[in-house]
Amino acid sequence: MTKVEQEDSIASLEEVSAALAAMSKAEMARLAKFARLRALAASSIDWEDLIHEAFLRALKGTRRWPKRISFRDFLLGTIRSVAFEYKRSTHGREIPLSTTGSATEFGDEPSIEVADDSPSPEEEVIARRTLSSVRALFEDDRSALAVLSGLAEGAGPAEVQKNAGISPRQYASAQRRIRRVIARAIEEKEL
C-alpha cells in the first residue's frame, strides 16, 4: 500500500467530528455499556472518563480512525485501549473481561475471570520506584497524596475521603490533578 493510499484510508479530523455528531442515542448507550464494563476491569476510573478520553483522542488525532472499520468499532477499541493503559499505569488488579461473542456484540453479558495478579519481583521493583516518583510529584499537595496513598493501599473512594478528611468534590478534583500531573510527567519523561 502506498503512502497516499494509507492516508486515504485514515479518516480526517472533520470526518471523526461528523461521525461523533451523527451518533444516535442507542449507539451512545452501547458505548456507555461497554465503557462501564471496562471501568469495572480497570477499577478506580469512571466509565464517563473512559468515553471522554476516547472522544478526545479521536478528535485530537492521537488515535486515528482507519476507515476500513466502523466508527463504533474504532471507539470500542479506543475505550478498551484507554482502560488498559489506565489499569497498567495504576498497577491495579487485573480483571480481564472475556465475552462469549465478539467484542462488539452487546447482547451477551460478559463473564469476569480473575487472573493471577501476583506481580513478579521485577514488577514489584518497578512499581515501588514508580510509586516513589509519583509521590515526589505531589509532595506539596496534601489531598493528592492522600488519594494516592489510599488507592495504593487498596482503599475505595469513600474510605479515602473519610481517612483524608476531604469531600467527594475535593477527591474528584485531586484525581483530575493527579491525572494531569502524571500525564505531563510521562510526556516530559520524568516517570
Most confident of 2-6, 43-47, 104-108, 153-157: 153-157
Looking at residue 191, the DSSP 8-state letter turns out to be -
Domain boundaries in the chain?
3-112, 121-187
Q: Which neighbouring-strand residues pair with 112?
A: 97
Please give the residue that has the higher pLDDT: either 119 or 75.
Answer: 75
Question: Over the stretch 66-95, which tens digit does the pLDDT of each residue have?
Answer: 999 999 999 999 998 888 888 777 654 444
3-state secondary structure of 117: coil
Contact 71, 65 (CB under 8 A): yes
Closest CA to 61 of 49, 78, 73, 47: 78
